[in-house]
Amino acid sequence: MTGALQDSGVPLIRLRSVTKVYGEGALAFQALKGVDLDIAQGDFVAIMGPSGSGKSTAMNTLGCLDRPTTGDYLFKGVHVEALQRDERARLRRRFFGFVFQGFNLLARTSAQENVELPLLYRGEPAAARHVAAAKALAAVGLKGWEHHTPAELSGGQQQRVAIARAIVTEPAVLLADEPTGNLDTQRSHEIMELLWRLNVDLGITVLMVTHEGDMAKYARRIVRFVDGVVGSDEPNPHPRGLSAPAAALPAEVH
């Protein structure tokens, strides 16, 4: 990877004049039109906006799944837009965890085995994978459910497995794309309280795309995209997660 990842007092993430264009010529579509955004280590940011506003494109860019057409994306001071595909992949595997609306679990595989997958891809030995996956499942409140398959779990439990899979590598950043979109109201609030505790207790920076204002209230900041740019970026003075129970994460994950 070109450059060293160092703590130098700069924001964890910085976007400057970032654009993203899909297609060419008359068919070209500009999804991002000059985005400026700073995200500090330990922040919890809700990204909102109507369909077509650029929020999903911004999320893909932040997660190193896509690269800007122009502009600068700095992660811990390193210019991500200048990295090659394999370098971005290594950065993504080391520093980012992903949670999606659809859970994306392997149907015939146990919770434990689903959570171990990122470690398997990294070549971790079996013993280390087992310990780390059990720890991650305990962190999301699923101790004792390690050998259940997705079909034996509720929607909320499946999303907890997906979150455990995302944090098993101890990422600096958790990117959650509509993480409560397939859940009822009670399960949604349980998942949001869990994300809040991961942010507060483990220091994981959380970036969440959501269209639900009630879920965005858990974040420390709410960034709204409009027509490919940041329309507003406002702190949330009273994050709803402050009322989440302190015991949501077991002591062994600290």
Domains and CATH numbers, the chain: 13-253 (3.40.50.300)
- Fill in the DSSP letter of residue 97: E
One-letter amino acid at 226 equals V
Other Cβ atoms less than 10 A from the Cβ of 165: the count is 26
Per-residue pLDDT band at 79 (split at 50, 70, 90): very high
Residue 42 has pLDDT above 50, yes or no: yes
**What is the distance between the alpha carbons of residues 193 and 249, in angstroms, rounded to a whole number?**
10
In the DSSP assignment, the letter for residue 250 is -
> Structure pTM?
0.88
Which amino acid type is present at position 24? E
> Residue 190 — very low, low, confident or very high, per pLDDT cuts 50/70/90?
very high
pLDDT band at residue 22, thresholds of 50, 70 and 90? very high
Query: Does the structure show a pLDDT above 80 at 19?
Result: yes
DSSP conformational letter for 142? -
Q: How far apart are CA 111 and CA 33, in angstroms?
A: 41
Q: Which residues pair with 19 in a beta bridge?
A: 33, 70
Query: Which pLDDT value is given to residue 137?
Result: 96
User: How many whole angstroms separate alpha carbon 133 and alpha carbon 198?
Assistant: 16
